[in-house]
Amino acid sequence: MSFINALKDSEYLDKYTESFTIDINFYDPNLKLFSVVHMAIDHSEIGSLMPEAKTTLFRLFQYESANDYTSLFLHIVFTLLFLVIHFKEVKSVVDTGWVYFTSPWNAVGWFSLICTATTISVFIKRYAVAADTLALVARSNGDLGFQEFVDLTTAAWWDACFKHVLGITVFINTISLLRIVRFSQTIGKLLALPGIMKEEILSFSVVAVVAFTAFISSGYLVFGSHIESYSDLYQTTYALFEMMLGRFFANEMLDSNPITGPIFFSTFMICIFILLMNFLMTIICDAISADVDVTHDRELADHVWRSFNAMLGFHSPPNNQDKAGEPKLEELQANLRLLQDGLDESLDICNSILPRDDRGRVNVRTRKCQTRASQKQSCPVIDTECKVTIHIEPASDTDSEV
């Protein structure tokens, strides 16, 4: 406060001042971490003061120990693999044209490549900014400490930007892994859910976005100057998402505003947590219970699993089990009956096609045939008939034991 009073006495602060910001840098030599404490007081148009405080923790030293150089090696290997995959994808696009993007998985793959390239670029920029900032810190270090103030907000901003971009990239690549396991019936039905409930989800999304935006705006206006988690729109959105998942701080709302706080909390829990979330779960349950024809390749999964077991030397035993005794004899007799029925049907068909005079004899008849030159000749026709009889006798005990 003495520092602020000194600024006020020197007429640095007056009634026309709209914003006052203080940045303090800290460094922990044990953990080799830097931190920036940002404190600001804004004079709003309605005459109130809006305080804000933020602490950012980050690291400027990149590669020092053996583990750091191992990470550097892995970063280089990852970059080389990314370039190879990117070259293959570009070649596929050139060969197939715009038809390549008609597949949703190909579009997700390309979006993943774009996010990965952005992450690599931001990482390189973050490393360059950190190196320049360390050079400024080294030049400003005197005998009694830091002789000049070094602004670390740029390095802190790029470090936070890298963390956000890396999180988005990891999320997209994790979603892309579903493409590998889509032959599973459960995963295939899960991937088919958006196509089933797209109309209901579209209508629900419009209502949910409007309601959620209304609560974000009101929460920021009511609690922005009293609660840290509602200090800006980003923090307010994050806090409301936590409330939607069941994590909330009702005491802070009650302490900040005894009247508006309970009203806001109760309205949000009824409209968002109870009504909209139950509507969403109903839509998802109806889509799951629907009869979906999922196209998945189970044979591919079984073949891969059998090949993997065979490579390790494991072989699964056959499922069929040998049956001994009377059940085996009954099964053999049933097969013989089926064989006898099939032969009888075949003989009936042959007897109906081939004419016969007497059963058990072979008759030779002559028939006159005419050629193109009107010449007559005798053509022998042979009628045959045979009788097949199968006798089934139960096997003796001695034969069954053999």
Q: Where are the domains of the chain?
A: 2-58, 196-309
pLDDT band at 214 (very low <50, low <70, confident <90, very high): very high
| Confidence at residue 381, expressed as pLDDT on a 0 to 100 scale | 44
Spatial contact of 254 and 262, defined as CB atoms under 8 Å apart = yes
pLDDT band at 117 (very low <50, low <70, confident <90, very high): very high
| Confidence at residue 210, expressed as pLDDT on a 0 to 100 scale | 92
State what percent of residues in the chain have pLDDT above 90: 11
DSSP 47: S
Q: Which residues of 267-300 are buried (b: 16+ CB within 10 A; e: fewer)?
A: ebbeebeeebeeebeebeeebeeeeeeeebeeee
Query: pLDDT for 33-89, tens place per residue?
Result: 888 888 888 777 666 677 777 888 888 887 777 888 888 899 999 999 999 988 988
Q: What is the mean pLDDT of residues 270-296?
A: 78
- Taking the C-alpha atoms of residue 255 and residue 131, their distance in angstroms, rounded to an integer, is 45
| Confidence at residue 322, expressed as pLDDT on a 0 to 100 scale | 47
Helices (H), 224-371: 233-244, 250-256, 260-268, 277-289, 298-312, 326-353
Query: pLDDT for 346-376, tens place per residue?
Result: 777 777 666 555 444 444 444 444 444 444 4
Query: pLDDT for 153-209, tens place per residue?
Result: 888 899 999 999 999 999 998 888 877 776 666 777 777 777 788 888 888 889 999
| Confidence at residue 294, expressed as pLDDT on a 0 to 100 scale | 54
pLDDT band at 317 (very low <50, low <70, confident <90, very high): low
Question: Which architecture does CATH list for 196-309?
Answer: Orthogonal Bundle (1.10)
- Taking the C-alpha atoms of residue 288 and residue 282, their distance in angstroms, rounded to an integer, is 10
Length of the chain: 402
Comparing 198-212, 238-252, 332-346, which segment has the lowest mean pLDDT? 332-346
CA 239 → CA 62, 67, 228, 233, 337, distances in Å? 33, 37, 10, 10, 77
Tell me the DSSP string of 137-206.
HHHHEETTEESS----HHHHHHHHHHHHHHHHHHHHHHHHGGGTTTTSHHHHHHHHHHHHSHHHHHHHHH
Q: Please provide the average confidence, as pLDDT, over all residues in the chain.
A: 76
Spatial contact of 185 and 296, defined as CB atoms under 8 Å apart = yes
Q: What is the mean pLDDT of residues 280-301?
A: 69
pLDDT band at 15 (very low <50, low <70, confident <90, very high): confident
SS3 1: coil
Q: What is the mean pLDDT of residues 385-402?
A: 48
Show Cβ contacts of residue 281 under 8 Å, excluding neighbours closer than 6 positions.
none
Rg of the chain, C-alpha, whole Å: 41
Taking the whole predicted model, whether its pTM rises above 0.95 is answered as no
Phi, psi (degrees; rounded to nearest 5) at 255: -70, -35
